[in-house]
Chains A and B, each alone.
Chain A
Amino acid sequence: MNANEKAAWTELIVSLAACGVALALAPFLGNAATSGFALLGLLPLSWLFFRRRGGEVMTDERDDEIDRRAKYLSALAGWFTLLLAVIGLTMWSNFAGDHTVRTWVLNWLVWVQFVVVCGGHGLASVVLYRRQAHAA
């Protein structure tokens, strides 16, 4: 497993953990449970995997290609999350009849979208690396 794959696993695990913590805290803290998403602050720690040991090659063109495809897929997932949420919110606000959207809903939406993009990037990278793993 090279540095990029370790970073992808970190991204996936941290995103899932942040989501899990936020959802677990929600019944007790209400909207303040979004503080659980602060775990996403651990993401930059994945740079520890990129410390150079001697003249070792850390990443190459295959990693770049996987990263590029993962970024595209995660951006797509983030975009669809936003699109579906906006459609859902519009439908709900019309159905409810007050034609308003609560601020806390937008707060959750921003965090969820952030998790979808980060977690989606990690998941897509892990899947793309796994696809090539059968050759190992």
Chain B
Amino acid sequence: MPRKKEPTLSNSIRELRTGKVPMTQQELADRVGVTRQTIIALEGGAYTPSLALALRIAKVFGKKTDDVFRLDE
């Protein structure tokens, strides 16, 4: 049986991070408790975060999770 293709998750972390109150990748990483490499992977769309991490990132930017992450179907 053919397997349904998993939808990818895109995000606007880079735009939000470099927006009104710019912060470095390291600052964001420290605030959400991950390594800078994970922020790099997230911004490049190479890594899909866990729900907990997605919620923490959205909280840092003061946004809803939907505003930061979206499904590309």
Contacts and interface: CB of A to CB of B under 8 A. Distances in A.
Q: Which of A1, A55, A134, A136 has the most CB of B within 10 A?
A: A136
Interface residues of B, number: 17
A135 B38 contact: no
A57 B29 contact: yes
B38 A60 contact: yes
Interface in A82-136: 131-132, 134-136
Contacts, number: 47
B45 A57 contact: no
B24 interface: no
B34 A57 contact: yes
B34 A131 contact: no
Interface string A1-17: 11001000000000000
A135 B43 contact: yes
Contacts of B50: 61
Contacts of A136: 37, 40-41, 44
Interface of A: 1-2, 5, 55, 57-63, 131-132, 134-136
17 contacts: A1-B37, A57-B34, A57-B35, A58-B35, A60-B35, A61-B53, A62-B34, A62-B35, A62-B38, A62-B47, A132-B41, A132-B46, A135-B41, A135-B45, A135-B46, A135-B47, A136-B44
